Amino acid sequence: MSQARKTLIDLTRAEAGEDWADLDLRHLLYTGRRLRSAALVLSEWIELHVTEIPSALVCPFADEMLVHAVVSRAMTDMKWVSINDVDHNMSGGELTEADAVVILAGMVTTGATVRYTHDTVIEEGASVLAIIPLIDAAGTAQGFFESIGVDYWPVLTHYDLDLPPLAQAAD
């Protein structure tokens, strides 16, 4: 286990306490050291689990800051796209059939938002190399993505954090 991943587990456990009620992911991530740790771990996770170099990083709208941190850490011109599942807008860039993307997410519970993000990427003609949530709080989304042949690699799970699963799978 990398030092950055261990640090992220320790920070998340301290923030969460004994249940999910105390975990404020925005507070956890959007402070200097924590965001740097998350960006480092996500970058490592992409290198470890994704065999093709992605042309873009895509995220649900709420996780834009996380993607910015990963892209800036990589010091690359890789494009990023944010997809809003509420108003159905995309920002940051456009996707084409030539794009092979990695979808990053902060925390996945039911999987509904990351499924919407995945479906939008496919509708735009791009392909999805993998989905990498920072935290999978329920353990239910993985089965769906495996069933459609999409690699799903959460950095942390509720098991890593010694917490019970947070939610049931989305329909």
pTM metric for this prediction: 0.81
Amino acid 49: pLDDT: 87
- The mean of the pLDDT values for the chain is 80
Q: Per-residue confidence at 171, pLDDT binned at 50, 70, 90?
A: very low
Which helix or strand (DSSP H or E) is residue 147 part of? helix 141-147
What is the token pair recorded at 98? 């030539």
Q: Could you tell me which of 110, 109, 151 has the C-alpha nearest to residue 129?
A: 151
DSSP helix/strand/coil, 81: strand
Amino acid 17: pLDDT: 61
Choosing among 1.50.10.10, 3.30.200.20, 3.40.50.300, 3.40.50.2020, the CATH entry for 3-157 is 3.40.50.2020
* Percentage of residues in the chain having pLDDT higher than 90: 26
pLDDT at 91 over 80: yes
